[in-house]
A and B are shown apart, each in its own frame.
Chain A
Amino acid sequence: MRNRVRHLLLPLLLVTKLCGYGLLFGQAISIPYEKLATYHSDVSEVRLVFFATDEQHHAVQGLQKTDFAVVDNERVIRDFRSFTRPAAIKLDVIVLFDSSDSVLPHFKQEITEVLQLVSQWPWGPEDDVSVLSFGGTEAHSVCAGDCRSSFTADRVASVPTGGSTPLFDALDTAASLLTKRRQPDVWPVIALFSDGDDTISKASFKRAMEKTLTSEAQVYTIDVGNVGQPSNGAAMLQEIADESGGRYVRIREGAARIFTDVIDDLHSARVVTYALPESGSDFHSTRILPTHNLNWQFRCRRGYYYRSDIAH
């Protein structure tokens, strides 16, 4: 008897249940379209490219994610979402060279190095290289994307020279270009040839660095100023390189040194991602420190800007 009741009740319950779901679906469908079309996106992840070197300044081989911690706006982060070695990176390089009055005594040497850099770099087939000059009041595009073939001595001859030094404006322009065409598997790099003395920019150093950090580009600064004389310009170039996680070199070290630096970095780069830590400010300072071997040095950009109203 009990079994018979169960046999009758079970299909009845099933039908009721299905009808119930039907009603629920019906209710869902009756929700206004605007409400259904509301998407909540929470991509709160920080991605840091960094380089680790030992006491002899050699890249640390076999680095593990337990070997370092990130300090993000003072918070120590050891819990990472991912830790990888970027594979097959394409380069998007912008070479910025100073053509203002202050560098004219060394302009020939500067141009030789820039030409050498562009022509002798071991470019990959998908790498992009653009060249911009800056002098007077703004940056001028010399060639864009295809400079491997189109950047020639003739082209350089047509570059306007002299005038003031809009260094920060030029950095701002280059960073904006890189941000516009940013793709996850492309490494943005800026090679900046200058004496570091800005004289006319509309953009401040802070704004130029904000744009640079947003573009995630490493800036390799090449000091074309007078060798052996400590200057504000040299300090500025050092600061730009350090802030962005790039490197500073003097022009006498030549284009070959820049190749070596960038290629070393390409081979030794690591990428770490972690959840965005809560903070009361837009700017997050970043630093990577060792968890056990204090002789290891970690280089990365010194911060990033997070704005809840801007996706970058």
Chain B
Amino acid sequence: MKRALSLIFLFCSLPGLLAAQIGVYQHGSVVRMHMGECIPAGHGFMVAFGGPSNSIGPESCPEYTLVSDNVVFVIVGKLSNSLIPLAQTIEFRFHKNELAVRVDDAKHETKFAIKEMMVRSEWDRLQRHIDEKMRASDDHEPEVRSR
């Protein structure tokens, strides 16, 4: 029984272990997070081109903006509890049109649907533009600020 369980565990964790060993993981940082609409099966950027995925209920799902060196991803969890630890750096890899994120040190991965992708330089430029706009609107407000 123990041996069978060990084998099942090994089988389940093998893809993650292998991925870690052959260094296919990319690194990124989550900079934004909110609970938004779940992506219904058959919608979304990559989902549209991929195979069928698990059906998603009406509840809200976590949506993350994941910034890597060259690409920025907006990814959506399949369930309301598909959470990513918000460490400074997380590891992820592509897996059948989805993004598999290493959730902790236990070699466990969670898969996320990709909602949007953007080239990093373009995203940086957009952020600068948004920040400038916000600063400009702040300059028109009274000086005294508080929490």
Contacts and interface: CB of A to CB of B under 8 A. Distances in A.
Interface residues of B, number: 25
Contact of A41 (B103, B143, B147): B143
B146 A69 contact: no
A88 interface: no
**Dominant SS among interface residues on chain A:** loop
- Interface hub of B32, B85, B135 (most chain A Cβ within 10 A): B85
Nearest to A41: B144
A309 B140 CA distance: 12
A3 interface: no
A311 B144 contact: yes
A42 B141 CA distance: 12
A270 interface: no
B33 A276 contact: no
Interface string A20-56: 0000000000000000000011111111000000000
Contact of B32 (A76, A278, A309): A76
**Dominant SS among interface residues on chain B:** loop
Nearest to A46: B147
Contacts of A71: 33-34, 86
A32 B75 CA distance: 56
Contacts of B137: 280
B147 A74 contact: no
A292 B145 CA distance: 34
A276 B33 CA distance: 17
Interface residues of A, number: 32
Given A75-B32, A76-B86, A78-B86, A308 B147 contact: no
A44 B145 contact: yes
Nearest to A306: B147
Given A75-B32, A289-B83, A278 B138 contact: yes
Interface string B62-85: 000000000000000000000101
A312 interface: yes
Contact of B104 (A42, A294, A309): A294
Given A276-B147, A294-B104, A311-B146, A289 B86 contact: yes
Interface in A277-306: 278-280, 289-294, 304, 306
A275 B7 CA distance: 49
Given A74-B32, A76-B32, A310 B146 contact: yes
A278 B135 contact: yes
B88 interface: yes
A293 B83 CA distance: 11
B19 interface: no
B131 interface: yes
A292 B105 CA distance: 8
Contacts of A308: 138, 141-142, 144-145
Interface string B25-59: 00000111110000000000000000000000000
B31 to A, nearest CB: 6
Nearest to A75: B32
A35 to B, nearest CB: 14
Interface in B100-147: 103-105, 131, 134-135, 137-138, 141-147
A14 to B, nearest CB: 40
Contacts of A41: 143-145
B144 A292 contact: no
B14 interface: no
15 contacts: A43-B145, A71-B34, A75-B32, A276-B145, A278-B138, A289-B86, A290-B86, A291-B86, A293-B85, A293-B104, A294-B103, A306-B146, A308-B138, A309-B142, A311-B146
Given A42-B143, A306-B147, A310-B146, 10 more contacts: A40-B143, A45-B147, A76-B32, A76-B86, A78-B86, A278-B131, A278-B138, A289-B83, A291-B87, A294-B83
What 5 A-B pairs have minimum CB-CB distances, sorted nearest first? A69-B86, A311-B146, A308-B141, A291-B87, A74-B34
